[in-house]
Amino acid sequence: MPRPLVVIIDISALQHNLAEARRRLPAATTWAVVKANAYGHGLERGMRAFGAADGLALIEPEAAVALRELGWQKPILLLEGCFDLSDFRLAAQHKFEVTIHCPQQIGWLEKTRFDVPVNVHLKMNSGMNRLGFMPQDFSAAYRRLRANAQVGSIALMTHFANADAADNPGLPLAEQVRRFELGSAGLDAPWNISNSAATLMHADMRSHQVRPGIMLYGGTPGAHKTSPAGAFGLRSAMTLQSELIGIQQIHPGDAVGYGSRFIADAPMTIGVVACGYADGYPRHAPTGTPVLVDGVRTRLVGNISMDMMTVDLTAIPTAHHGSCVTLWGDGLPIDEVAEAAGTIGYELMCAIAPRVRVTER
């Protein structure tokens, strides 16, 4: 039999979470973000689940082509746009909408022949200092695109660093909005500015197009304690589940696992779970990270191995060889596990390794 470790994707949860995004901004065009293999949930599965979205948005041109080959006929938006001239030929051929964030991309666009005008999303660097035109260069870039007969619609785009913690002193959300408004003053075009955090926490923002990602998968963009997914009405779409494949009774002073990082100070029952860092579980998750055994909450103890991890069964006398272990998902929000492990739910979802079986329900 295959290893008992499995990822279970709940299609109805994906559909429900998309409906939650749409409910918050009913008038907005909704781009369901499916980059990184739909945040680890599977591109084709994401496509199927998000059929009610106005379009799909992603980073990887080859995955965008795959979406067309899988039959997605609605719009597709490349969030980083084209990486070279040849990508523009792909965009023309497959009718992708493209982000334009730098002068090079405008140059490539001007060298490409489109049978139908290409819709573009002109991106401003409103303070995050990754991609985009500076506010003072924005309207010139807009005019250069507008002057091109091959350009169809133009949306004005930016990306927020701190929509989940709007008062971040490094770059308050209001400051990003202010720069965006300033740089796009007088430009008559829709705004494409809201990620999940802005969709969930700032639904009053003037966003004609929204780009929710993490919320569709049942994760939250910020710290789970202040903003748990459940409180937003989101359902977790990914459950990582395995079984106990061994049980050890240990005595005070006995050590567990590599590095003997955990040493028992009382008699304990230790369960061995078929899941390790080669499956995508974070190796740096410390003793105390929560897991469920047959639905009962307990904790990880000792170092994560490549293929296994060890958990405390002392308070779960009914646990047995084959007991169900939930690493995250049903009954255990991924954000809680992420926080215990010093990371974010996004990273856990995306890190699921190819060797892990995936099923649906």
Q: Which positions touch ligand PLP (CB under 6 A)?
A: 33, 35, 79, 159, 195-197, 211-214, 221
Nearest approach in angstroms of CB 153 to ligand PLP is 18
Nearest approach in angstroms of CB 100 to ligand PLP is 13
The distance of closest approach from Cβ of residue 7 to ligand PLP in the complex, given in angstroms and rounded to an integer, is: 19
**Using CA atoms, how far apart are residues 171 and 175, in angstroms rounded to an integer?**
7
d(C-alpha 109, C-alpha 105), whole Å: 6
**Nearest CB to ligand PLP, comparing residues 24 and 159:** 159
| 225 classed as catalytic | no
Active-site residue (options: 39, 74, 123, 258): 258
Contacts of residue 1, Cβ cutoff 8 Å, sequence gap at least 6 = none
Buried b (16+ CB within 10 A) or exposed e, 125-146: bbbeeebbbebeebbebbebbb
Amino acid identity of residue 117, one-letter, is P
Nearest distance from C-beta of residue 79 to ligand PLP, angstroms = 4
Annotation marks residue 258 as catalytic: yes
In which residue are the tokens 């591109």 written?
Answer: 43
SS percent in the chain: helix, strand, coil, step 5? 30, 25, 45
Closer to ligand PLP by CB, 33 or 308: give it: 33
Between 39 and 277, CB nearer to ligand PLP: 39
What is the phi/psi pair of residue 123, to 5°? -100, 135
CB of residue 128 to ligand PLP, shortest distance in Å? 10
The gap from C-alpha 170 to its chain's centroid, in whole angstroms, comes to 23
Catalytic site residue from 35, 123, 217, 277: 35
> What's the Cα-to-Cα distance from 337 to each of 97, 159, 212, 234, 347, rounded to whole Å?
36, 27, 22, 17, 11
Among 211, 64, 204, smallest CA distance to 123 is for 211
- Would you say 60 or 294 has its CB closer to ligand PLP? 60
Nearer to ligand PLP, 202 or 310 (CB): 202
Q: Which residues are catalytic?
A: 35, 258
